[in-house]
Amino acid sequence: MTEEPPHFRVAVIGTGFAGIGMAVRLLQAGLEDFVVLERADDVGGTWRDNSYPGAACDVPSHLYSFSFAPNPGWSRSFSSQSEIWEYLRRVAGEYGVDRHVRHRHDVTAARWEPRRDRWRIETTGGTVTAQFLVSGAGPLADPSFPDIKGLDTFEGTMFHSADWDHGHDLTGRRVAVIGTGASAIQFVPRIQPKVATLSLFQRTAPWVILRHDRDITRLESWLFRNLPLTQRIARTSIYWGRENYVFGFAKNPRLLSVVERLGRANIHRGVKDPRLRAKLTPDFRAGCKRILMSNDYYPALAQPNVDVVTDGIVEIRPHAVVTRDASGHETEHEVDTVILGTGFHVTDPPIAQRILDADGVSLAQHWGSTAQAFRGTTVAGYPNAFVLAGPNTGLGHSSQVFMIEAQIRYTMQALRYACRNRVDRLGVRPEAQRAYNRRVAASMEGTVWVSGGCDSWYLNEEGRNTTLWPSFTWSYALRTRWFDPHNYDLRLNRTGAAR
């Protein structure tokens, strides 16, 4: 007789902000019957993995944290990767999440079993089952590698910024950096003084404005520790300041001309060569791609050992990156190290390939190129499953943690409803999901993210923005404040009845 795997009321995937936040709320609700499945040896998710030089958050520290766990000990107004990771580890320990985490349990498949109203979850550490499945595998969990001819033939050292090779000394190296996104903006200034040469391969110039970062003063730290209301006031003021960005991003993109002036001023401050300035000046509306912040990126690119290459890459050879200019002329750039700053699988998260319905159809197959969910959280055909940081819940202006907490609140409302009313299965109705996403798509029209004239990672293959929330975050929080059972098909426990 085959032994049944361990069964839980809830299984949570991942231990980043989403997974830890979900676990804390389960514990606070008195629900101890859950497991958190983590592929690594420690908690932290994105902030554990992205340890490249200069890694930091571009949302102010007091806002980029849980509302229920303020940190009066932030050292700077914008936190570093190490501080955020330590914060997550501390929250997991203090709230008792650690005892529910199973490390080295990478989820390989999660399949819905309709006859038993449960999920069967296969991991590298064994099998478990659960009535409810919550995915906290965020959009920045899995690095994306470029489709470049000869990538696997390079004989030097190559690594992605999300998997930084700290054992590889860059001193005196000839380094190629492919990509100019948020990660490259941060690590390029850190490695530039060490390397012999740095060739930065830029497909699209980003908008980069000054980063107003500073040390948190001793007085501020004292106030935050001894008068917690002061930190709540600081957090609230930052929140509403960030919400004002929506007027430019989503309501009247012409307001973003102010940001563009700041970006051009930043280029002129850091770069004197007019030809290099021209290369670094974007040709699209600010906000169409993620607006970046740095005080030292442009000065680093102006150094004599740096070459900004805007010709397209056609091939990578054992010791070189090959580009081709508009006239067809090819240039071989000899390097011994390649660093890929090429982002993540945002619109096609690998976890979606591993979540399967009763017929074995993966969430990725179900979505195709257009990921959709009801309130960004539940998907028709995949009952008892919740996707945190799901479709159209990303942000271009504020803290993702705020959106994650809103989704966790909605998920907890659903779980409480199921428990209180003896519901074995709840699945969002397809018509409710379609209506919701029509409203989201209508709100997206006219925003800078779809009309700003660029090709960004916000967009899917068809040019649709399935990543970002198209309005104020408070409006999303209102939509997810209460669970709405009328939008769901419910299967009741045979011994109970809904009230």
> How far apart are the C-alpha atoms of 122 and 136, rounded to whole Å?
16
Give the count of alpha carbons within 13 A of 98, CB side only: 11
- What stretch of H or E contains 320? strand 320-324
Q: Do domains 7-43+97-142+345-492 and 151-206+254-340 have the same CATH topology?
A: yes
The alpha carbon of residue 119 and the mean position of all alpha carbons in its chain are separated, in whole angstroms, by 25
Is 280 buried (19+), middle (13-18) or exposed (0-12) by CB count in 10 A? buried
Say how far apart CA 66 and CA 28 lie, in whole Å. Answer: 14
Instruction: Say which amino acid occupies 459.
Output: L
pTM: 0.94
Which pLDDT value is given to residue 494?
59
β-partners of residue 489 are 427
* Per-residue pLDDT tens digits for 82-110: 999 999 999 999 999 999 999 999 999 99
CA dihedral 354, 356, 362, 367 (to 10 degrees): -110
Non-local CB neighbours of 178 within 8 Å, separated by 6+ positions: 146, 148, 201, 313, 321, 338, 339, 340, 341, 342
- Candidates 3.40.630.30, 3.50.50.60, 3.30.565.10, 3.30.499.10; CATH matching 7-43+97-142+345-492: 3.50.50.60
For residue 157, give the H/E element and its range: strand 157-160
Name the nearest CA neighbour of 318 among 466, 152, 193, 104. 152
How many Cβ atoms sit within 10 Å of the Cβ of residue 186? 25
- Could you please report the per-residue DSSP string of 172-233? T-EEEEE--SHHHHHHHHHHTTTSSEEEEE-SSPPPEE-----BPPHHHHHHHHH-HHHHHH
* Tokens representing residue 464 in the block: 């649709």
Q: Is 494 exposed, middle or buried (0-12, 13-18, 19+ CB in 10 A)?
A: exposed
Which residues touch 328 (CB under 8 Å, ≥6 apart)? none
Digit-by-digit pLDDT tens for the chain (499 residues) are: 568 999 999 999 999 999 999 999 999 999 999 999 999 999 999 999 999 999 999 999 999 999 999 999 999 999 999 999 999 999 999 999 999 999 999 999 999 999 999 999 999 999 999 999 999 998 888 899 999 999 999 999 999 999 999 999 999 999 999 999 999 999 999 999 999 999 999 999 999 999 999 999 999 999 999 999 999 999 999 999 999 999 999 999 889 999 999 999 999 999 999 999 999 999 999 999 999 999 999 999 999 999 999 999 999 999 999 999 999 999 999 999 999 999 988 878 899 999 999 999 999 999 998 999 999 999 999 999 999 999 999 998 999 999 999 999 999 999 999 999 999 999 999 999 999 999 999 999 999 998 877 878 788 777 788 999 999 999 999 999 999 999 999 998 755 444 3
Question: Which residues are 12's β-sheet partners?
Answer: 36, 134
- E strand or H helix that includes residue 405: helix 400-420
Looking at residue 496, what is its pLDDT? 46
End-to-end CA distance of the chain: 39
Map out the domains of the chain as residue ranges. Answer: 7-43+97-142+345-492, 151-206+254-340
With CA atoms as reference, report the closest residue to 485 among 445, 448, 432, 434: 432
Which token pair is 457? Answer: 């990672």
Task: Calculate the CA 220 to chain-centre distance.
Answer: 30
Residues in CB range of 142: below 8 A, 6 or more apart: 344, 345, 349, 350
Q: What's the number of CA atoms in the CB half-sphere (13 Å) around residue 250?
A: 19
Q: What distance in Å separates the CA atoms of residue 458 and residue 264, rounded to the nearest whole number?
A: 23
d(CA 123, CA 109): 7
Q: Which residues contact 87 (CB under 8 A, 6 or more apart)?
A: 65, 71, 79
Spatial neighbors of 28 by CB under 8 A, at least 6 apart, are 95
CATH 3.50.50.60, domain 151-206+254-340, yes or no? yes
> For residue 178, which of 144, 138, 153 has the smallest C-alpha distance?
144
Is 413:423 a contact under the CB 8 Å cutoff? Answer: no
Q: How far apart are CA 370 and CA 379, in angstroms?
A: 13
